[in-house]
Amino acid sequence: MFCKNCGKEIADQAAYCVHCGAVTDNPSAFNTQPVVTGNRTNGFAIAGFVLSFFSYLAILGLIFSCVGLNYSKQPEYSGNGKRLSIAGIVISCVSIVFWVIFAALP
């Protein structure tokens, strides 16, 4: 395809001319769907895992890990943080049980 403004050759799928910046008459270039990359970082999974190691913050770690696990199922995260969230849930539960038993001892 050739640009209608400057006449230089451009790609057939181009929405704009790479040489002069003019808009092309290619309607299919504007009807594309955004690509989901799946590169988002799951901050809740990380926070839940870290908080699961601290005594009374293990409850927050459990909550954040559950939210992180839910986020990991969304397409923009594409599974990022799933294993970290599961580890945070397990460690939080063990930590909470440990601190409940520890607090009950005389």
Residue 88, pLDDT score: 95
In the three-class reduction of DSSP (H, G, I as helix; E, B as strand; rest coil), residue 2 is classed as strand
pLDDT in tens, 64-73: 999 999 999 9
Amino acid letter, residue 83:
R
In the three-class reduction of DSSP (H, G, I as helix; E, B as strand; rest coil), residue 29 is classed as helix
Residue 96, pLDDT score: 92
Residue 105, pLDDT score: 83
**Is the Cβ–Cβ distance between 72 and 42 less than 8 Å?**
yes
pLDDT in tens, 6-63: 989 988 888 888 889 888 877 665 555 555 555 788 999 999 999 999 878 999 999 9
Residue 56, pLDDT score: 81
User: CA angle at residue 105 from 100 to 106, to 5 degrees?
Assistant: 145
Residue 25, pLDDT score: 78
**Is the Cβ–Cβ distance between 23 and 15 less than 8 Å?**
yes
Asked whether the predicted pLDDT for residue 104 surpasses 90, the reply is: no
The pTM for the full model equals: 0.63
Cβ burial 44-60 (10 Å sphere, 16+ → b, else e) = bbbbbbebbeeeebbee
